[in-house]
Amino acid sequence: MKILIKFILFTVLLLIIYLQQPALADTVNGANGAKIFSKNCAGCHINGGNIIRRGKNLKMKALKKYKMDSVEAISNIVTYGKNNMSAYKDRLSESEIQSVSTYVLSQAENNWPKQ
């Protein structure tokens, strides 16, 4: 009986640790995304704005209007660029593009809070 209880407790502990993994990964990716954004994007998109074309900013209203309100859509434009937006496929790795795209979407969802 004691072995069964220990086994159950051990299994529950492993399950808790496993379920925490995405949260830990999101924290790391969020910090990495913020760093990548600061280094590569903030020059034109400070606080989610756009110094080149005001209407094409990174605020949720504009992202929805231009159907850029998903990580996939943001990743695509970061990778390949479009119009005045430069392509970053030769400057950033796929994981960096994913991180910065996730960061941009989460900031937009939170109305670009001041850092």
Spell out the domain ranges in the chain.
26-109
Distance from the Cα of residue 6 to its chain's centroid? 39
Whole-model pTM? Answer: 0.73
Q: What confidence tier does 13 reach under pLDDT thresholds 50, 70, 90? A: low
pLDDT in tens, 83-92: 999 999 999 9
Judge whether 66 and 57 are in contact, CB under 8 Å.
no
Query: Right CATH number for 26-109 from 3.30.420.40, 3.20.20.30, 1.10.760.10, 3.30.200.20?
Result: 1.10.760.10
Average pLDDT over residues 72-98: 96
* Rounded-to-integer distance, Cα 75 and Cα 66, Å: 14
pLDDT in tens, 31-71: 799 999 999 999 999 999 999 998 899 999 999 999 999 99
